[in-house]
Amino acid sequence: MTPAPDRDTANAEALRRLGAAEPVLLDVRPAGEVVPGFTRDTLLTSGPTLPWADYIGGQRAAVIGAALFEGLAGSEAQAEERLAAGSIKVRGCQELNCVGSLAGPYSASMPVFVVQNRGVGIPAGNFAYCSIYEGTNHRRLNYGVYDQGVHDRLRYVGEVIGPALGEAVRAAGGLALKPIMANALHMGDDLHSRNTAASLLFCRELFPALLAMAASRREAAERVVRALTEDHYFFLRLSMAAAKSSADALTGIEGSSVVSAMAFNCRGFSIRVAGLGEAWFTGPHATVDAVLFKGHSQDEITWMGGESPITETIGLGGFAQAAAFPLQKYQGGSPEVMVKRNLSLYDITVGENPDFRIPFLRYRGTPTGVDIFKVLRTGIHPVMNIGIAGRDGGQIGAGTVQAPPECFQRAAEAWRRRYGDG
């Protein structure tokens, strides 16, 4: 047992580090080129790493699709065989400082956003990575679908969007993401299920570089603009990478009981805790309250992973839902419920975010830094805004989910084992 540090002090430090985080987008590069440890036969997927045999449903399909896309196997059967034999390695995204949307499939050739936490006065400099949004089609690899259309779109993202975007980002000399995120919260985004304003603001920052690109390659610039602005999800991957680079600065704060990551895989929901290193504490699946696209029914809802709750981890998404009343149309709820839910989360967090503020709450900072002991004491669980996957693959809707109590209970037991009764 480690001598018990003061938990409140440790948790205040966690909040300070989140406030001081300065995620900066530096580049867009293929994962295999830029992510340390990402070998050609590596595939990533969301949540704590499982033995291959334990991946089921859409998450298993997404990994197999990634293997085929990358040319690591010539058929599904061969992919299965190589994955079972371990000649294709599957790892949880966060082992490599990546963060996965829904099933979170990554292969070496897929371009990723390269984000560094350049916060001053905190242990920073760490990198985080996130893959690029596949586009508006509801059937996407990250929702467990791999067909010709998905293949073609992934190639388009990898060969057209990624390189052009990388060029623009480098020409811009990198881009500070926090100012964009802070502004977007004043423009109806929660930075999880709605990123409409953030995508436009991001586009605005890149405009000079894109105009320069247009001088020689107008079509490339146009394609980037279209990818950035065609729906409300593009910026999510940047929000996730920013959140991951911010939250990773919490790892190793001795004595802290603040959550440093939240993620699903197909088997359940898990959290990490700042004072407990990189261990995951797992519970069953979250409970869900969803609005489904036309033609879909509740019994189709399935779980195939998701690490986008990294945004909630730093005070966005469900923790900023009162900034994003337009979400009522997309994922349900009323403004009154959104305000009430958002306010309840102040009871389980360490403090208020100094940068992320909610106009409707008189610019109060978002509730930030979930304390596992406050969750257990109040019975209030983190609320997350998420996309909903269907059992036949594809996104079938969106909704809010609540984290299950078990992962907090297990984390609290581990905290007590390590630090005593705090």
Q: Which residues bind a copy of itself (CB under 8 A)?
A: 186-188, 196-197, 200-201, 203-204, 207-208, 210-212, 214-215, 218, 221-222, 225, 229, 325-326, 328-329, 334-335, 359-363
Residue among 329 and 417 whose Cβ is closer to a copy of itself = 329
Residue among 68 and 210 whose Cβ is closer to a copy of itself = 210
Strand 281-283 vs strand 287-292: parallel, antiparallel, or unpaired?
unpaired
Min dist. Cβ of residue 189 to a copy of itself (A):
8
Residue among 48 and 333 whose Cβ is closer to a copy of itself = 333
Q: Would you call 389 helix, strand, or coil by DSSP?
A: strand
413: exposed, middle or buried (C-beta count within 10 Å: 0-12, 13-18, 19+)?
Answer: exposed
Give the tokens for residue 142: 């990250």
Residue among 155 and 329 whose Cβ is closer to a copy of itself = 329
CB 208, CB 107: distance < 8 Å: no
Q: What DSSP string runs through 81-108?
A: HHHHHTSSEEEEGGGGTEE-STT--B-T
CB 412, CB 421: distance < 8 Å: no
Q: How many CA atoms lie within 13 A of 134 on its CB side?
A: 27
Residue among 84 and 363 whose Cβ is closer to a copy of itself = 363
Min dist. Cβ of residue 387 to a copy of itself (A):
19
Residue among 20 and 172 whose Cβ is closer to a copy of itself = 172
Min dist. Cβ of residue 228 to a copy of itself (A):
9
Residue among 225 and 279 whose Cβ is closer to a copy of itself = 225
What are the Cα distances from residue 322, in Å, to 48, 60, 317, 361, 403?
A: 30, 35, 10, 8, 19
Min dist. Cβ of residue 224 to a copy of itself (A):
10
Residue among 102 and 327 whose Cβ is closer to a copy of itself = 327
Min dist. Cβ of residue 363 to a copy of itself (A):
7
Residue among 12 and 225 whose Cβ is closer to a copy of itself = 225
Min dist. Cβ of residue 211 to a copy of itself (A):
4
Helix, strand, coil % in the chain, rounded to nearest 5: 45, 20, 30
388: which residues sit within 8 A by CB, 6+ positions away? Answer: 288, 290, 292, 301, 395, 396, 397, 398, 399
Min dist. Cβ of residue 135 to a copy of itself (A):
17
CA distance 158 to 171: 19
Min dist. Cβ of residue 222 to a copy of itself (A):
6
CA distance 401 to 290: 8
Min dist. Cβ of residue 199 to a copy of itself (A):
10
CB 227, CB 161: distance < 8 Å: yes
Amino acid letter, 422: G
Q: How many CA atoms lie within 13 A of 79 on its CB side?
A: 20
Question: Token pair 């106009």 is at which residue?
Answer: 359
Min dist. Cβ of residue 127 to a copy of itself (A):
29
Strand 98-99 vs strand 127-131: parallel, antiparallel, or unpaired?
parallel
Cβ neighbours around 377 below 10 Å, total = 11
Residue among 293 and 363 whose Cβ is closer to a copy of itself = 363
